[in-house]
Structure 1
Amino acid sequence: MYLLLLLPMSFFAQNTVSGTVTESATSLPVPGANVIVKGTTNGTTTDFDGNYTIENVSAGDVLVYSFLGFVTQEVPYEGQSTIDILLDEDQGTLDEVVLIGYGATSEQDATGAVQKVSAEDFNQGAVVAPEELIAGKSAGVQIVPGDGAPGSGGSIRIRGGASLSGSNDPLIVVDGVPLDQRGVQGSRNALNSINPNEIEDFTILKDAAATSIYGSRASNGVILITTKKGKKDTPFQFTYDVKTSIGNITDKVDVLNAEQFRNIINNTPGTDPELLGDASTDWQELIYQTSVGAIHNLTATQGVGNFYYRLNFNHTQQTGVLKRDYYQRDAFNISLNQDLFDNQLKLTLTSKNSLDQNNFANRGAIGAAVAFDPTQAVYDPNSPFDGYFEFTRATGSDITQQNLATRNPVALIAQTEDSNQTRRSITNLNAEWKLPWVDGLKAVVSGGFDYSEVQGATFLPITAASNTSNINQFSNYDGINRNLLLDTYVNYQNEIEAISTEIDATAGHSYQEFYSYSDSYGTEQDQERDFPEYISRNALESYFGRVSFDINNKYLISGSIRADGSSRVAPQNRWGYFPAASIGWKVQNEKFLENADWLTQLKLRAGYGETGNYEIGQDYGYLGIYTPSVGGASYQFGNEFVPTLRPEEYDENLKWEALKNYNAGIDLGFFDNRLTGSVDAYYRETKDLVAVVPIPAGANLSDQLLTNVGTAISRGIEVAVGGDLARSEDFNWSVNYNITFQEKEITKLSLGDDPDFFIPQGGISGGVGNTIQLWKKGFDPSTFFVFRQVYNEQGQPIEGAYVDVNGDNQITEADRQPYKKATPDYFMGFTNTLNYKNFDLNFTFRGSFGNYVYNNTKSSNGFVEAGTNTPSDYYSNLNANVLETNFQNSQFFSDYYLEAADFVKLDNVSIGYTIPGEKVDFRASLTASNVLTITNYDGLDPEVFGGIDNNFYPRSRRFVLGLNFAF
């Protein structure tokens, strides 16, 4: 009887299976491969060496082995204690899928200039702003990092941008939701609500053949961000990742110390050394600090049958190198997927929810620390300004501040309160239904929103010297941004066997509405008042279609068109049509190359497309608008002051900017893609450029008008090369290099035919209304406008001596010439990734060449009168450059202050070690960012967006310790 009872027990015996999963082609281990008992949630994943152990396996079970890019294998369990698996590469998935807007294609079938940057290629470290992940990773994409403020965002330029006064930012699409290109109120960076840890990949659409499907918003390129999601049939996994960081500034503006400053004052006629103090104060040292930060990520993911999910909580906090600067983000990301009706209906919900909190330090302290008298002490026991030393004057029996004097930088930081918080949610629900009555036809409905609320407050006490009123200064403000989206489209994919052609066709409709609101209450001069509410609302309705053909797996043809209707422009210009066409030839599939085993890919591409840019600075620039008065502009009726309404100038024919783009490219792959490369050449022409230009008096309600006046062209060549220098079981080394050559020129910029017409740009400090750049026909938009400096035999600049360009024996404004530019001639990125057993190392270099920077930190304070030509009871510090030039007066427009800003930066270095375990995988990493800069530029940093270096918030060099636990 006892033996009979054991029989059924043995049938249900639970066993343990171990083994190794490796690649069949290379015998390399496959870490992270899924091993699961079919039809259950019992499973595991392989460790770093491809090893796995799975428990509770019964006779009759089927073990499923799967990994992206490999053919899934199913093995019946028949009592084996060890099962080793060789996974074959899946040729159908090796050709990586890339998004192209309202659909996807394979890399081999893409005919536009499209690049995908995946998580394994990202820059490492304590990354807060998502765009930092791809700096230096893509040809044609220049990302200038944000300044040193915590949470600040960088500037993204794809092929240099296409506008002048309009936006040059690319359209960002997050999980199918196009973001408002105007940004989010109160946020340091519109992308900060997206946790970098949760980004799966970026897809960058560069040419119009790829971007025209987004029509009027695509002239500056499109970036598609895909966030991480759960995976089907995967066991529960919990991950905790923490990164802690410290950072310090690497340099300070070179100013006179106390001894040097006293020497200048003592030797300058007409000065009073009695006004100097007895201290020796490094003001820059006092306003900066060591920055610290921490990033925590807790992630849970699982796939249970046809339902799979990913949940992530992120807590980020970071102080700035400028004292009292602080950023904090708490974010909760949700991804839910459900497949229904035998995978015919797929539902996907993604939601990114964040709370950003900021304390903004007073950035005016940066300029004040450069200019404040170094002989003065920080504190004064007799000061009425909370004990801080300030330059004062006696007004009767009162002591008041010198209104024009520089403020105490330490006091500026300590006495200014400025904080806010922003709540934001980017959510999208996507339904994809394979229609049963037509093979290959599916319908997609995508509804989403991007909603944010901001609340903030500022406060400046009456005791602060920077408060020139007679009451405490404060403001309370709030705002809303709302972006609603509904996309519907159908997609048909099938093969026409009779003509060996694959077809992929899409047609759809999109509607997006944008709303923003802001309101504030506070003080103005010596009064408290409600400020006018601001409300903006506009809508964009669109129809789009695209069709692609792959003929005989050799010849590619694609065409698309989009029709956009926007409420932002006049009815007669409301609808725009944006066509595109491109072709490709997969030469490697031709018969004459069928024996070329060394050649993996040889594809030629060419395309043409049209796009637009409706971010032109106004919502309803074609309408006459009345603006409520601000700044005390009121009309008096008796004892009552009534605010006025002011009519604004307008152009009833204002329309969006339009771009035409031509692109040709070649994609190469050799030796099973161990060596890859691509080359793209482009030519772009932007018409109807928007700019503010002077108009005849009486022609409108102002003598300046925002209107369509210009044309510009840009051209460039982009080269990208990647390769595996080593590929073995223990050691792997891959490199990626890209370089971009570019140039841009304004070809028309006037309502008339004046060849000398130009528009001043680039305001500088040191004088009211001074500018150092210009827009002019025949020149790059970032060109500087300067006098050519004359030097003596010793190579020293001669004060006031400039080249007489027109030969009239006098120096006038006619001798001021367009010269040099802030835009680089070429820029590059270079990334290395190495793995040795459980160690990994990667580092990224970036470089920029041919660009110039106007060193306004030198020119504004680099002459004696800048510190001495003041009211008689205070002096200001000088830039140390005055010791070299001995300039007595301002030389603002001298090209002496134009400096070559070529640089090579070691942006990022990261080393890590992984310890695989039976229950827990552990990884530790150490990362350094902003490691090294090689440059001849004499300022703090050669990478200055716009080309004018002044009051720059310094970037810090950061060191990051990272720990990761995967359960």
Structure 2
Amino acid sequence: MKTKFNGFLTLLLALVVQISFAQEKTISGTVSDASGGLPGVSVVIKETQKGTETDFDGKYTIKAKSGDVLVFRYLGYKTVEKTIGTTNTISVTLEEDASVLDEVVVTSYGSTAKRATTGSITTVKSEDIENVPTANFAEALQGKSTGLQSISSSGQPGSNSSVRIRGTASVNGNTEPLYIIDGIPVSSNSASDLGAGGLDAGNRDPLSNISSADIESVTILKDASSTSIYGARGANGIILITTKKGKQGKAKFSLSSQVGVSARAVELFEVLNASEYIELQRESQINAGIEPAVAVLNYPDSDDDTDWSEYAYRDWDAVTKNTNFSASGGNENVNYYLSLGHLSQEGIAVGSGLERLSSSLNLQANTSENSRVGMSFSYSKTEQQTALAESAYFASPILATYLFPPTDTPYLSDGTPNPVASVTSGTTFIKDNYYDTEGSVTDRLIGSVDIAVDIWNDFTLKSKFGLDKSFFNYKQYGSSLNDSNPSGGTADRAYQEVYNWTWTNTLTWSKTLNEDHNLNVLLGQEINKEGSDYFEVVVEDFPNGILQNVGSAATVTGHASSTGDSSLKSYFLNGNYNFQQKYYLNATIRRDASSRFGPDNKWGTFWSVGGNWNVSSEDFMKDLTWINSLKIKSSYGKQGNLPSNRYLWQGIFLNDTYNESPASYPSSTAANPELKWESQNSFNVGLEFSLFNNKLSGEVTYFSRETSDLLFPQTLEGSSGYTLRYVNAGGFTNKGAEIELNYDVLNIKDFNWSIGGNITFLKNKVNTLDEGTLGADGLYIREIGETWNTFYLREWAGVDVATGQAMWYDANGNITFNYTEGERVKSGNADPKFYGGVYTNFSYKNWELVANASYQYGNKIYNDTSRITNSDGAFAGFNQSRDQLDRWQKPGDISANPQRISGNSSNSNQASTRWLEDGSFVRLKNVSIGYNFSEAITKNTFLNGGKIYLQGTNLLTITDFNGDPEQSINGTHWFSYPNPKTISLGINLSF
């Protein structure tokens, strides 16, 4: 009986087991590697077509039965199989497979393995930017990516870097890339009015409000296949910023601190000392017909010999301090990252500086088996002082270094500023810094909330709302004690709010069919609105120096206000397909409607197709063991571009008075409801490779971007009542090649050495232009077949040895002494023929040395500053460059400069090739030597790790240009704030 009962129990148990194994249940978990969750990992039930992929944080859910085998596959990692038992949670850690190493890259609306990308993408890691001692992280991108040109034309803390991806493709449309932080488009310098108002407003960049310590990676998207899903906003490329997130595990804390001192990176320019200045001033007056005795009286000997640079610059006294703290961690359901930061940066020019407090909080949580939520939030408060560097105000310490006479003294014997300034009507930066106050405060909030729900097998619905809002507050007070100000004192107050919000909804379908076919489809809808509200009031006549608010003044001398906004509505569809992870196809179509165009042309359709072939995955490549990976990729697409002005298509009305009553009347610009999108057709083809056991890797790419329907002002007949309107009448082509190479020279037990670099060849050509735009345009010529910024200048012929007169070449190539008879000729252009960067990394045991440099070659710079500082006497009284010592004095003299004549009317210092210089340069951007704490140091302490390092930035610049060669994109130099070189000491601790 007992035997029968045992047999019955055995049968019953077998039945229960069979039922339990046959019953489908939800399996979830996390797939990670040594650094955290892996997105896009294929999770497939073995010998079926059923599968899914991990999300951005490496999490997955799948319906399966006990006894099924889950197969985890990810390019660059070893495949793992796990049999489902009684547990509903299966998490795995994948190990890298050295034979097929590949990286995960962030792409639009997600991430993927690099093998799967069909576009041109470069990723810059956090370690390449987080320790660079600058407020604007964009400066650290210089030389780090092919196709990307980042120029810091001003070294003022918080100033903007001009960033171009594969050249400039517009004139009156947007020209800078779209910046996206964790999926949220944010305001950059060209996309918003943030920082308008007050003095030197052009040197405030919204990107300086973002702490680089919170950045995990920066991804540069360059071609149509990678950018077209963002439609019109991606026409100039995209810079994706991924911030740091928490990872599963115990809490981790990190603390970093850096202190550095700065000086001018380039000090090639020298001015006259007192004796030289007096000599040249007397000589120029005598040459102008003034009696020598009178010239001596006008410029007597002086005991003063002021080096104004000693008062204008804080060479090696400008201190930068940067401290950051973060905490991160999480469990299976919640991950978190929290950070606090403080940056204090004194500018190398007096009266300039920046202080920023920053904080961030990132949370991701699994709210159920099928839903996830995320939140990111950052706040920064930036206080900024801006020296009047980028203009010819005599309150500028930059200009003073060039032009203030060395015979003037900055201070009286009692320590107060000298009220007398011989050539500036009393205005000096010394008095302004002593008596006046000026500065701005910007509060910036960037935040987003998103929710993702797995609504059905293989379908995920996601909604995300993001907001970027800034509050700008500018104050300036000019004391009545400063005789450069009105007698009652003056004040300027500006306030501005700038916002940019985006709401995105997407539905994703991911499907794996019989392990060979993989399909991912993304359907999306997006709404974006941005705008600003601004007012400014300028007053004077205060009752005393204590009351400084604008409301205390008696007289309003100026006021302004503006409100503007624009909106964008979009629908998009993206599809990705691959077969056996060998052949990949990508296609995107997007419809955008923008308020920046008239009712008939609001909508634009943009698209792209791309594909790649992973040649190294083919069977016929197996015997070629020296080739680790080989991929051919290509893409083609059409994109649009928006006007930089929100209301370019509309007629503008101006406000004034008529018969002492308020009035409004049309401006000189006529409306054009037919104005439409600028259009770009982009082609990209490239080869990615990794050879010799991954020792040599690189990428070679050819690209071409043709822009049509460029926005330009068109001159109208006066009888129309208007002078111009904007039309679509122009086209450019930017084409070139990009090469990137990386080589592991040595990789042995204790010593590693790698080198690498990139180079971009770029050529811009004008294809079509409106007749009214063709021809001379200031310093340039706008001509079909030429580069847009082609210089068009009278050709300098030097100095006549017999008379000391300035000479030019006329239309027949003959010498002329008449400036107006000089023939204007095409004289090179502002675009470099090529640019790029190089790097090397050494490590020995716990020591490491990192160095990188950037360069560009073949561009010209028009040195408009030299036109003033080498004026041949035209600007009487101003100090001059020491180059003026090489001047004509008597017949037979061979000299670089003509005879100096006070008030020189010969036009010798007017625009010509005399001031055109080679702008090529090589700059040692960063050198860092560091020591990583050994286990012997951290053992028996609270530390998990640490690093101490010594770093130098912009230590060496090699150039023939007479100044700092990093100048504006259009190739002009005008009393620019020089870039700093910095030496800093830092420490990073983790615990």
**Pairwise TM-score range, normalised by the shorter structure:** 0.7 to 0.9
Aligned partner letter, 2:385 = N
- CA 705–32 in structure 1, closer or farther in 2 if over 3 Å, else same: closer
> Which whole-Å CA distance do the structure 2 matches of 1:788 and 1:155 have between them?
30
Counterpart of 1:8 in structure 2 is none
**Structure 1 residues 889-898 or 457-466, which shifts more?**
457-466
Query: What does the per-residue CA deviation read over 1:702-722, in whole Å, with 9 as the maximum and x for residues that have no partner?
Result: x24333221111110000111
In structure 2, C-alpha distance between the alignment counterparts of 1:966 and 1:775, rounded to whole Å: 56
> Which residue, 527, 531, 534 being the options, matches 1:515?
531
Q: CA deviation at 1:313?
A: 0.1
- How far has the Cα of 1:723 moved from its partner? 2.0
Partners of 2:815 and 2:910 lie apart in 1 by 21
Q: Which moved more, 1:823-832 or 1:150-159?
A: 150-159
CA distance in 2, matches of 1:411, 1:273: 29
Q: Which residue of the partner structure matches residue 884 of structure 2?
A: 882
| CA distance in 2 between partners of 1:847 and 1:717 (Å) | 16
Report if the CA contact (8 A) 2:601-2:676 is conserved.
yes
Q: Superposition pairs for residues 161-310 of structure 1, below 5 Å?
A: 161-181=168-188, 182-183=191-192, 185-186=194-195, 188-232=204-248, 234-250=249-265, 251=267, 253-268=269-284, 269=286, 270=290, 272-276=295-299, 278=302, 279-289=304-314, 290-310=317-337
Q: 1:348 aligns with which of 365, 374, 378?
A: 374
Pairwise CA distance, 1:315: 0.6
In 2, Cα distance between the equivalents of 1:855 and 1:562?
Answer: 44
* Structure 2 contact 918–960 (Cα < 8 Å) conserved: yes
* Match 1:134 to one of 110, 125, 141: 141
Amino acid at match of 1:167: N
Q: Which structure 2 segments of 5+ residues have no match?
A: 1-32, 38-73, 83-91, 196-202, 390-395, 542-553, 887-895
Question: Superposed, which structure 2 residues align to 1:175-574 within 5 Å?
Answer: 175-181=182-188, 182-183=191-192, 185-186=194-195, 188-232=204-248, 234-250=249-265, 251=267, 253-268=269-284, 269=286, 270=290, 272-276=295-299, 278=302, 279-289=304-314, 290-342=317-369, 344-363=370-389, 364-379=396-411, 387-391=418-422, 405=425, 407-435=427-455, 437-438=456-457, 440-467=458-485, 469-497=486-514, 500-523=516-539, 527-528=555-556, 531-574=559-602
Task: Give yes or no for contact 2:350–2:387 (8 Å, CA) kept in 1.
Answer: yes
| Cα shift readout 1:915-944 (whole Å, capped 9, x = no counterpart) | 141321231111000011112222244555
Structure 1 residue runs without a partner (length 5+):
1-29, 35-66, 76-84, 392-401, 761-770, 869-874
Question: Which residue of 2 is the match for residue 98 of structure 1?
Answer: 105
Residues 763-815 of structure 1 show CA distances to partners (whole Å, capped at 9, x for unaligned) of: xxxxxxxx423433222122212112224799x99743222234698664671
Aligned to 2:972: 948
Residue in structure 2 matching 1:865, options 867, 873, 890? 873
Quick one: which amino acid aligns to residue 883 of structure 1? L
| 1:829-882 per-position Cα deviation (integer Å, ceiling 9, x unaligned) | 1111222111111010111110111122222221332342xxxxxx22122222
User: Matches of residues 383-782 of structure 1 in structure 2 within 5 Å?
Assistant: 387-391=418-422, 405=425, 407-435=427-455, 437-438=456-457, 440-467=458-485, 469-497=486-514, 500-523=516-539, 527-528=555-556, 531-614=559-642, 616-629=643-656, 634-635=657-658, 637=660, 647-652=667-672, 653-701=674-722, 703-751=723-771, 757-758=774-775, 760=777, 771-782=778-789
Distance 1:86 1:729, change over 3 A: farther
- Give the secondary structure class of the aligned counterpart of 2:620: helix
Counterpart Cα distance in 1 of 2:770 and 2:708: 13
- TM-score norm. by structure 2 comes to 0.81
Asked if residue 822 in structure 1 is aligned to residue 833 in structure 2, the reply is no
How far apart, CA to CA, are the structure 1 residues paired with 2:110 and 2:94?
A: 29
Distance 1:476 1:68, change over 3 A: farther
Aligned residue number for residue 393 of structure 2 = none
Deviation string, structure 1 residues 104-134 (Cα, Å, up to 9, x no partner): 2211111111122222444743242111332
Change (3 A) 1:522 1:899: same
Report how far residue 816 of structure 1 moved. 0.7
Question: Whole-Å Cα distance in 2 between the matches of residues 411 and 213 of structure 1?
Answer: 54
Using a 3 Å threshold, how does the CA distance of structure 1 residues 724 and 807 change in structure 2: closer, same or farther?
A: closer
Secondary structure of residue in 2 paired with 1:748: strand
The 3 A distance-change label for structure 1 pair 121 and 596 is: farther
Task: Note if contact 1:460-1:473 (Cα within 8 Å) is conserved in structure 2.
Answer: yes
Say which is worse superposed, 879-888 or 511-520, in terms of deviation.
Answer: 879-888
Which position in structure 2 is the counterpart of 1:22?
A: none
Cα distance change of structure 1 residues 680 and 108 upon mapping to structure 2, 3 Å threshold: same
Deviation at 1:244, TM superposition (A): 0.6
Instruction: State how far apart, in whole Å, the 2-side matches of 1:814 and 1:863 are.
Output: 18
Asked whether the equivalents of residues 296 and 315 of structure 1 are also in contact (C-alpha less than 8 Å), the reply is yes
Amino acid at match of 2:956: L
Aligned to 1:933, which of 940, 957, 961?
957
The one-letter code sitting in structure 2 at the alignment partner of 1:595 is: D
- In structure 2, the CA distance between the partners of 1:798 and 1:304, relative to structure 1 (3 Å rule), is farther
Matched, 1:156 2:163: yes
How far 1:636 moved relative to its partner?
5.3
Output the CA distance in 1 between the equivalents of 2:124 and 2:451: 26
Distance 2:461 2:428 in 1: 64
- Answer whether contact 2:868 2:875 (CA < 8 A) is retained: no
> Percentage identity across aligned positions?
27
Aligned to 2:8: none
Instruction: Measure, in 2, the Cα distance between the counterparts of 1:836 and 1:291.
Output: 33
Does 1:800 find its partner at 2:799? no
Superposition deviation, residue 548 in structure 1: 1.5
- Normalising by structure 1, report the TM-score: 0.83
Maintained 8 Å contact 1:789/1:798: no
Contact 2:77–2:97 (8 Å) recurs in 1: yes
One-letter amino acid matched to 2:261: I
For 2:498 and 2:475, the matched residues in 1 are separated by: 18
Residues 795 and 808, structure 2, Cα contact 8 Å, conserved in 1: yes
3-state secondary structure, aligned to 1:963: strand
* Distance in 2 of aligned mates of 1:409 and 1:945: 28
CA RMSD of aligned residues (A): 3.0
Question: Could you say which residue in structure 2 is the equivalent of 1:789?
Answer: 796
CA distance in 2, matches of 1:235, 1:849: 50
Q: Distance in 1 between matches of 2:359 and 2:262?
A: 27
Residues 463 and 129 of structure 1, relative CA distance in 2, 3 Å threshold: same
Distance 1:352 1:806 in 2: 64
Instruction: Report if the CA contact (8 A) 1:912-1:925 is conserved.
Output: yes
1:543 and 1:245 mapped to 2: Cα distance?
48
Aligned counterpart for 1:111 among listed residues 94, 112, 118: 118
Taking the aligned partners of 2:331 and 2:174, their CA distance within structure 1 comes to 45
Q: Distance in 2 between matches of 1:772 and 1:655?
A: 29
Q: CA deviation at 1:644?
A: 5.7
Paired position in structure 1 for 2:54: none
* Cα displacement (A) at 1:308: 1.3
- The verdict on how the C-alpha distance between 1:373 and 1:829 changes in structure 2, with shifts beyond 3 A counting, is same
> CA offsets per residue over residues 697-755 of structure 1, 9 Å max, x none?
23352x24333221111110000111211222311222221001011011222146x9x
Secondary structure at the counterpart of residue 447 of structure 2: strand
Q: Quote the Cα distance in structure 2 between the aligned partners of 1:697 and 1:524.
A: 41
- Once the two structures are TM-superposed, the CA of residue 691 in structure 1 deviates from its matched residue by 2.6
Sort the Cα spacing of 1:847 and 1:521 in 2 relative to 1 into closer, same or farther, 3 A: same
Asked if the contact 1:371–1:406 (Cα under 8 Å) also holds between the matched residues in 2, the reply is no
